[in-house]
Amino acid sequence: NTQAPWWKDATVYQIYPASFKDSNNDGIGDLGGIIESLDYIQSLGVDAIWVCPMYASPQVDMGYDISDYEAVYPPYGTMQDMETLISEVHHRGMRIILDLVINHTSDQHEWFKQSRSSRDNPKRDWYMWRPAKYDADGVRHPPNNWRSNFGDSTWQWDELTQEYYLHLFCPEQPDLNWENVETRQAIYQSAMISWLERGVDGFRVDTVNMYSKPAGLPDAPIRDPGFPWQDAGLVYCNGPHMDMYLEEMNAILTKYNAMSVGECPFTPDRQRVIDYVSAEKRRLNMVFQFDAVNVGIGTTLKFMTKPFNYALVELKNAIAGTQNLLDGTDAWTTSFIENHDQARSVSRFGDDSPQWRTRSAKMLAMLFGCLSGTLYLYQGQELGMINLPLSVPIEEYKDVDSSNYYREMVERSHNDPTAVQEAKAALQHLARDHARTPMQWTAAKHAGFTGSEAQPWMCVNSSAAEGINVADEAGDDSSVLAFWRKTLKIRQQHCNVLVHGLFELVDAENPRVFSFVKSATHGSGRTLVVCNFSGSDSDLPNYDGLDLSAAKTLLGNVEVDGRYDSPREVQYDSRLQPWESRLYIL
Ligand code: TEU
Ligand code: CA
């Protein structure tokens, strides 16, 4: 039984630099702000930070459009600041991972500038250029019908050289051509090795399963009839050379003893996922699957949302699917429900009204804090931060994904007021912007994110003034923040079960109560987590073969005798209060 690697037991705290902490009052978060907050971060009980892209970038997609992998975006700071950040993190015994965005670059990257300059430029083949198709009437069409992740065609016509280039995201994010070995070597050197040499401990690998495209770039099936561009994720992800590319990358990572967590959308096939993350295969350490965060999103367009109330069983199955990667395999998994691409979990899966916000946020903390795999916590999630309210005008939404969707809905409906209202409501529910409002540090102006005279780059959620902020929550033992700290402590104390244990849904069809058992694979230990996903009382289920009469609770989100935590013998009520959750040790 060998020692598990550090990243298995770790909790990773994700930081979005623009919105975390502004140290020089220009309204934009920065590296200095992260450095000065490291003690706070460590006090949560986390082991590592993941810093979203802080590289040189025109910021069309908030830094996921990189123009130079080896330079820092000046408003965030300097290379010297990065070196300070890395050493300050290490000084505290923590780890730091960076975002590795290498499916595409910015169109302002030197490589692309050269590639687009002429058809015979030596870097022409570093990107995915294709000739146009012409129909019988001589009208020009792109090579296929793929819809980009941000709407519209994935192909951009280039007047100068009279060809299309591929971009799975914005037109300003051209896809690199991974088939070219020289390109791959340049990517590895510039984006990976240069940072591993500076001491980073690993990478969160953006869109990791999109590097290898399917031969012939075939059309996607038509799911949105009447519109030219079709969702193609299932077509362009997981292409034929993925394994080889990942093995090349892994060889570099291994040399530096660095970890990897890949973002793995559009991969319903369990065996495909296991083949990415099996320890023996040496490709990736783990991946983020999208099953849980996609519960409740639309089937044709992601913002065409359906209400969550009917989807608890779907959420259970989604989570079970990612948890069960561990069953009988040497694979590893992740637990997360928020990141910079997701709306706030308490607004989506809990109840963000003043009455139930705290309790339902704690319930979600318990649920995801008790799942196996490496746990990821997104900035502000530890406070139970919530979505912007509907009263915030659409102009405050800064994300290109949101503005493109809104514009498309206005166009499709010819500005029909009902359709436009619906589009806005959908964005209020699901937009990525809700994760990107500034971190709420205090109840003061701008939530203490930046100086009171400054103008924050994105609007601050007014809930900061209503108690959802670090200062207020730190002084309150019944806060969401205090609960996350307790949860992370208990997770560590019982890591055999809570981090490494096998997951089993119990009472799986119950549409209101989410219950699961975890069992240690080595050593002993069994726990039961019960979550009432409902604003009314529910019965504590009668579990076949589980006797709770002698079971103690390790943690609960409803106060009993003035306390929430610590094992006790109290016989719990067989009624679950609204949004109540309990962690039993069996
Ligand atoms: O996201 C890739 C991804 O697959 C999505 O979840 C994406 O956010 C969604 O399709 C948008 O509707 C990654 C990054 O996390 C994201 O922030 C970037 O925008 C994207 O890659 C492009 O680099
Ligand atoms: Ca700043």
CATH of the domain at 560: 2.60.40.1180
> Which among 66, 104, 152, 341 is the best mutation to test ligand 1's pocket, defined by most ligand atoms within 8 Å of the CB?
341
- Of all protein residues, the one whose alpha carbon is nearest to atom 3 of ligand 1 is 207
pLDDT at 201: 98
Strand segments (E) across 366-511:
374-378, 502-506
> Which among 19, 207, 433 is the best mutation to test ligand 1's pocket, defined by most ligand atoms within 8 Å of the CB?
207
Using the atom order of ligand 1, give the atom closest to the CA of residue 265. 4
Q: Is 442 left (phi over 0), alpha (psi -120 to 50) or beta?
A: beta
- Is residue 419 over pLDDT 60? yes
Pair 284, 378 in one domain: yes
Indicate the pLDDT class of residue 306, thresholds 50, 70 and 90. low
Q: How far is ligand 1, taken at its centre, from the CA of residue 341, in Å?
A: 7
- Of all protein residues, the one whose alpha carbon is nearest to atom 10 of ligand 1 is 149
Using the atom order of ligand 1, give the atom closest to the CA of residue 149. 10
The answer to whether ipTM exceeds 0.85 is: yes
Ligand nearest to the backbone CA of 207: 1
Residue 22 domain flag: yes
Pair 236, 316 in one domain: yes
CB 516 within 8 A of CB 543: no
Please compute the mean of the pLDDT values over residues 292-304 and round it to a whole number.
85
- Is residue 338 over pLDDT 70? yes
d(CA 331, CA 551): 31
pLDDT at 547: 84
Pair 282, 384 in one domain: yes
- Of all protein residues, the one whose alpha carbon is nearest to atom 18 of ligand 1 is 64
Q: How far is ligand 2, taken at its centre, from the CA of residue 454, in Å?
A: 10
What are the backbone dihedrals phi and psi of residue 42, each rounded to the nearest 5 degrees, phi first? -65, -35
Pair 371, 425 in one domain: yes
Task: Say if pTM beats, i.e. exceeds, 0.95.
Answer: yes
d(CA 391, CA 73): 33
The domain of 131 spans 110-166
Which domain-ending residue is among 166, 191, 206?
A: 166
Residue 441 domain flag: yes
d(CA 233, CA 219): 11
pLDDT at 1: 42
For residue range 13-37, what is the model confidence (pLDDT) as tens digits?
999 999 999 999 999 999 999 999 9
Pair 224, 161 in one domain: no
For residue range 243-289, what is the model confidence (pLDDT) as tens digits?
999 999 999 999 999 999 999 999 999 999 999 999 999 999 999 99
Residue 375 domain flag: yes
> Which among 54, 60, 149 is the best mutation to test ligand 1's pocket, defined by most ligand atoms within 8 Å of the CB?
149
Pair 93, 228 in one domain: yes
The binding-site residues of ligand 1, defined as CB within 6 angstroms of any ligand atom, are 61, 64, 101, 149, 169, 206-207, 263, 265, 302, 340-341, 401
Residue 1 domain flag: no
Q: Which amino acid is residue 71, in one-letter code?
A: A
- Is residue 548 over pLDDT 90? no
As beta bridge partners, residue 88 has none
Indicate the pLDDT class of residue 228, thresholds 50, 70 and 90. very high
The CATH number given to whatever domain includes residue 150 is 3.90.400.10
Pair 509, 429 in one domain: no
Query: Residue 51: enclosing H or E segment and its boundaries?
Result: strand 48-51
Residue 323 domain flag: yes
- Of all protein residues, the one whose alpha carbon is nearest to atom 14 of ligand 1 is 206
Query: Catalytic pick from 263, 338, 351, 382?
Result: 263
Count structural domains, the chain. 3
pLDDT at 503: 98
Pair 265, 288 in one domain: yes
d(CA 142, CA 157): 8
pLDDT at 224: 87
As beta bridge partners, residue 516 has 505, 529
In the chain, what percentage of residues exceed pLDDT 70?
Answer: 97
Q: At CA 405, angle to CA 155 and CA 237, rounded to 5?
A: 45
pLDDT at 269: 96
Q: How far is ligand 2, taken at its centre, from the CA of residue 455, in Å?
A: 11
Indicate the pLDDT class of residue 2, thresholds 50, 70 and 90. low
Ligand nearest to the backbone CA of 341: 1
Pair 420, 341 in one domain: yes
Residue 171 domain flag: no
For residue range 96-148, what is the model confidence (pLDDT) as tens digits?
999 999 999 999 999 999 999 999 999 999 999 999 999 999 999 999 999 99
Residue 487 domain flag: no
Q: How far is ligand 1, taken at its centre, from the CA of residue 463, in Å?
A: 27
Which domain-ending residue is among 122, 142, 166?
A: 166
Query: Catalytic pick from 99, 201, 206, 399?
Result: 206
Among this protein's residues, is 159 annotated catalytic? no
Pair 518, 578 in one domain: yes
Indicate the pLDDT class of residue 549, thresholds 50, 70 and 90. confident
- Is residue 347 over pLDDT 90? yes
The CATH number given to whatever domain includes residue 406 is 3.20.20.80
Q: How far is ligand 2, taken at its centre, from the CA of residue 462, in Å?
A: 21
- Of all protein residues, the one whose alpha carbon is nearest to atom 20 of ligand 1 is 64
Which domain-ending residue is among 459, 474, 489?
A: 474
47 burial via Cβ count (<10 Å: 0-12, 13-18, 19+):
buried
- What is the residue-averaged pLDDT of the chain? 95
Using the atom order of ligand 1, give the atom closest to the CA of residue 339. 15
d(CA 340, CA 208): 17
Indicate the pLDDT class of residue 522, thresholds 50, 70 and 90. confident
Q: Read off the DSSP letter of residue 189.
A: I
pLDDT at 524: 83
Among this protein's residues, is 263 annotated catalytic? yes
Q: How far is ligand 1, taken at its centre, from the CA of residue 122, in Å?
A: 30
For residue range 366-412, what is the model confidence (pLDDT) as tens digits?
999 999 999 999 999 999 999 999 999 999 999 999 999 999 999 99
Joined together, the tokens standing for residue 552 give: 């103690």
Using the atom order of ligand 1, give the atom closest to the CA of residue 401. 12
> Which among 106, 109, 169, 238 is the best mutation to test ligand 1's pocket, defined by most ligand atoms within 8 Å of the CB?
169
Pair 418, 543 in one domain: no
Spatial CB neighbours of 171, under 8 Å, sequence gap ≥ 6 = 107, 156
Pair 213, 359 in one domain: yes
d(CA 201, CA 192): 11
Residue 172 domain flag: no
- CA count, 13 A, side-chain hemisphere, 494: 28
